[in-house]
A = this chain, B = another copy of it.
Amino acid sequence: MADRFAFEILARSGRARRGRLHLAHGDVETPAFMPVGTRGAIKALTIDAVEALGADIILANTYHLHVRPGDARIAALGGLHAFIGWSRPILTDSGGYQVFSLAARRRVSDAGVVFQSHLDGRPLELSPESAVDIQARIGADIAMMFDECVGWPATHDQAEAAMTRTLRWARRGRDRFLALQAGDEPSIVRSTPGQVQFGIVQGGTFPDLRDRSVDGTLAVGFDAYAIGGLSVGEPSDLMYEMVERVAGQLPDDRPRYVMGTGTPDDLVACVARGVDLFDCVLPTRNARNGQLFTREGPISIKNARYADDLTPPDPACGCATCRRHSRAYLRHLFMSGEMSAAALNTAHNLHFYLDTMRSIRKAIEFGTFESFANAFLETYSRHRSIS
């Protein structure tokens, strides 16, 4: 598989790694943050704008694209890259998380999940196998295995049941993926032949379950591994503990991806624990709600104190929003309900995330990640360090 998937580690600083991931549609410099483009679009931004921000890779949601416009349609139109006009790498989740959080009614069994579309109540189903087929049609560079995620808090029994089912699904999902690769399922369009598949470690916040999940997932064998089931409401210290425990058991030569995380300090803390890939709706969703990330912590642009404030959102920021616009104008746009408020805020927040990752990568290259991280957290949240 080295011809279409490889991960190089270019530098290390403590447990933090500076890497480069080679994917079918190009390289991803890691540690990397993936902006979330649920329906094949980063909310409030055009694809041109996302490209201008310098994102190497974006995430799209299998559940949403399956419901609309449909994966068969996407395949017929040449795959997701062609459909949305984005030529760089894409990762798709498996659809599992959205089924559990969005679907109107659902029935989970070992076979898979039967649910009703959140749009029109139409009955749909996802299984370890169909999640592979759908993602093959969509044609992301990275497909995720179908898993079951429990919320927080969950009992040991609940977390164990979901984890063991996830392991059974891992085997089936991997088998299906390999069958498609081997050409055994010619009826399934594969929009990106070089697609790779990541496994997902579950187990909630229980160390013993996490350990068993790591062993079982590694035994199945994927191109790389993600840590799922975190950032679901648990305290961040508990999340970091799980990340540290699991990351330490995952292969050093493969990228590690913590799904759905997190705040800027979460990213720094997880990189310090050996994580390479992230995605999160925070920068985009919070932008639409008027929260802007800055080096000194987040601000709410709705606040009346900004009505006459001619400084940019973050005076230290070089993004297009900060170079051109003041807090006063952004507040006016937000209060007036102008769509451009969402566009400008989203561009700023994503720039902040992507720029933080650039700084992280530089710091690892220079072997100064720990001092960078402590300085970042000191300025950003003023109350904690990475350790």
Which residues on A are within 8 Å of B, measured CB to CB? Answer: 39-48, 68-69, 73, 76-78, 83-85, 307-308, 310, 320, 324-326, 328-329, 332-333, 335-336, 338-340, 342-344, 347
The residue among A40, A85, A339 with the most chain B CB atoms within 10 A of its own CB is A339
Contact between B308 and A338, CB atoms less than 8 A apart = no
Contact of A340 among B44, B76, B77, B333 (CB under 8 A): B44
Q: How far is it, in angstroms, between the C-alpha of A379 and the C-alpha of B208 when the chains are bound?
A: 71
Whether the pair A310, B77 counts as a contact (CB closer than 8 A) is yes
A324 engages B48 (CB within 8 Å): yes
Given contacts A43-B338, A69-B335, A77-B310, list 4 more A-B pairs with CB under 8 A.
A41-B333, A44-B340, A77-B326, A339-B342
Bound together, the chains give a CA A240 to CA B338 distance in angstroms of 34
Contact A76 B339 (CB under 8 A): no
Do the beta carbons of A46 and B336 come within 8 Å of each other? no
A85 touches B338 (CB 8 A): no
Which chain B positions have C-beta within 8 A of A47?
Answer: 324-325, 340
The residue from B43, B45, B308, B335 contacting A73, defined by CB atoms under 8 A apart: B308
Contact A68 B344 (CB under 8 A): no
User: How many copies of the chain does the oligomer comprise?
Assistant: 2
Chain B residues, CB < 8 A from A338: 39, 41, 43
Q: How far is the CB of A363 from chain B (nearest CB, A)?
A: 30
The CA of A335 and the CA of B119, in the complex, are separated in Å by: 11
Do the beta carbons of A328 and B83 come within 8 Å of each other? Answer: yes
List of B residues within 8 angstroms of A310 by Cβ: 77-78
A83 to B326, CA, bound (A): 8
Assembly CA distance A338 to B332 (angstroms): 22
Q: Chain B residues near A333 (CB, 8 Å)?
A: 39, 41
B48 and A308 contact, CB distance less than 8 A: no
Do the beta carbons of B41 and A324 come within 8 Å of each other? no
Residues of B within 8 A of A307 (CB): 69, 73
The answer, among B41, B83, B324, B335, for a CB contact under 8 Å with A85, is B324
Residues B44 and A332 in contact, CB atoms below 8 Å apart: no
Cα distance, A326 to B329, chains bound together (Å): 33
Nearest CB to that of A52 among chain B residues? B48
Distance in Å: Cβ of A102 to nearest Cβ of chain B: 14
Q: Which of B39, B44, B83, B332 contacts A40 (CB 8 A)?
A: B332
The 5 closest A-B pairs by CB, nearest first: A85-B324, A44-B339, A41-B338, A39-B336, A69-B332
A339–B38 alpha-carbon span in the complex (Å):
13
A292 to B328 Cα, complex, angstroms: 33
Contacts of A332 in B (CB 8 A): 39-40, 68-69, 83
Cβ distance A293 to chain B, nearest Cβ, rounded Å: 19
Minimum distance in angstroms from A212 CB to a CB of chain B: 40
- B contact residues around A335 at 8 Å (CB): 68-69
24 contacts between A and B (CB under 8 A): A41-B336, A41-B338, A41-B340, A42-B340, A43-B338, A44-B339, A44-B343, A45-B340, A45-B343, A46-B320, A46-B340, A46-B344, A47-B325, A68-B335, A68-B336, A69-B307, A69-B328, A69-B335, A76-B308, A77-B308, A77-B328, A83-B326, A85-B325, A339-B343
Chain B hits for A329, CB < 8 A: 40, 83-85
A369 vs B230: C-alpha distance when bound (angstroms): 65
How distant is A290 from chain B, measured CB to nearest CB, in Å? Answer: 15
- A332 CA to B44 CA in the complex, in Å? 15
CA distance A43 to B41 in the complex (A): 19
Residues of B within 8 A of A41 (CB): 333, 336, 338, 340
Which B residues touch A78, using CB under 8 A?
A: 310
